[in-house]
Amino acid sequence: MQKSHVFLLLLILGTAFWGVSFSFVKVGVADGSPYVFLAYKFALAAIVLSVLFAKRFNRLNRKTIVAGALIGLPLLLGNVFQTIGLQHTSVTNTAFITGLDVLLIPLFKWGLFRKPVQNRIWVSCSIALFGLYLIVAQYGLHLNVGDLWTMACAVFFACYVMAVGYFSHRCDAMLTVTIAMTVCSLGSGLAALFDKQAVWMPSDTHFWEGILFAGLLGTAYMYGIQGSAQRYLEEEKVALTYLCEPIFAALAGMIMLGEPLSLRTMAGGGLILIALVVAELDFKRLQPRDA
């Protein structure tokens, strides 16, 4: 199996962790500050990655630190703007608009960097976005001012994926990801200082369970794998894997929270999986050769 396919599967596994962690976060954060949760989550991820890849720190230099900061900044801003947007709009709108980064990434590559994007990528992105709409917009979309914050979030998430792709061949992936996690933790902690709901040592065990799951699997694993994967995968394919998150979130909600799994959700999930296959197909090889 090619390395690109292995990493594609590992990224999809990471989105499964994201989807499951949504249920943990929903129960753990409750009425508390999401910024405190983010600060702890990213801090745990940074600590774990630092321990696992401690030997690589002898390669740390100014270039790697700058790269890690440039990767971490859009990820931090994406998380912060998403959190602000959630305060003014629905989870449905947030999920769909955040998913727009699946189209923003090829648009940025084509419009800003003049890099070619294959036709099958545009097709697969469109299929995936429609699948996402079926999953999250069960009762339609009703746009409001909070959606502007969420759109900013989608732009920054797209910038994050582009930044990882740019630096993946130039710097040590694990070092840059570790620095990025540190930047996100410090930035989230700073935001928490201005949040009146911030409680730094919650007594709720669900909060800490959420931190452990989201920090270890949803963050340290996922972003660590992505840092390595983008040496072999195009940015738009990484974004497509992101859209698997609502599939696993729906499954986790059904198992852990007793939420119903609708026919629309199953149909949307099927379209997203079809889009992933379309993105990987080489249609030229599938065409019959002339005798």
217: closest CA among 186, 188, 191, 248?
Answer: 248
What pLDDT is attached to residue 257? 64
**Residues of the chain scoring pLDDT < 50:** 283, 286, 288-291
* Residue 2 three-state SS: coil
Give the Cα separation of 58 and 2 in Å (integer).
Answer: 31
Would residue 287 count as lying in a domain? no
What pLDDT is attached to residue 284? 52
Q: Domain count of the chain?
A: 1
Would residue 201 count as lying in a domain? yes
CB 99 within 8 A of CB 151: no
Quote the domain boundaries for residue 114: 3-281
Measured CA distances, 262 to 22, 131, 136, 157 (Å) = 18, 13, 11, 28
What pLDDT is attached to residue 289? 47
Cβ atoms within 10 A of the Cβ of 106, count? Answer: 22
Would residue 290 count as lying in a domain? no
- Global pTM reads 0.80
Give one word for 98, left, alpha or beta, with left for phi > 0 and alpha for psi -120 to 50: alpha
Would residue 274 count as lying in a domain? yes
Would residue 243 count as lying in a domain? yes
Q: What are phi and psi of 193, to 5 degrees?
A: -65, -25
Would residue 86 count as lying in a domain? yes
Would residue 288 count as lying in a domain? no
